[in-house]
Amino acid sequence: MVRNVVRPVGPPMLTVREVAEELAVCRATVYALLERGELERVWVGRCIRIPAASLDALLVRGRCCGAAGSSRFSALQQGLVTS
């Protein structure tokens, strides 16, 4: 017998490296944003994951260097990304 397990799909989560690439900054800058509370974090075991909505909110606030040039920020402005 085969069981189908349905799991709810949560919001997209990003790694520190993915956020750093998106913002065109180093990982240390992302860790600093996390420590200052400018980005939310979720611990998955010993790994940090950042909700995409948190990155979107940071970009909308324009609180990070290079954020205005981010492709995600441009997509947010055009309404192409929904969190």
DSSP strand E in the chain: where?
13-14, 42-44, 47-51
Q: Give the burial class of 2: count Cβ atoms within 10 A of its Cβ; 0-12 exposed, 13-18 middle, 19 or more buried.
A: exposed
pLDDT tens digits, 17-38: 999 999 999 999 999 999 999 9
Quote the domain boundaries for residue 43: 13-78
Domain count, the chain: 1
pLDDT of residue 83: 47
pLDDT < 70 regions, the chain? 1, 7-8, 10, 63-83
Instruction: Report if residue 1 sits inside a domain.
Output: no
Q: Is residue 66 one of the residues assigned to a domain?
A: yes
Alpha-carbon distance of 66 to 83, in angstroms, equals 21
Q: Would residue 72 count as lying in a domain?
A: yes
Residue 22 in contact with residue 69, Cβ under 8 Å? no
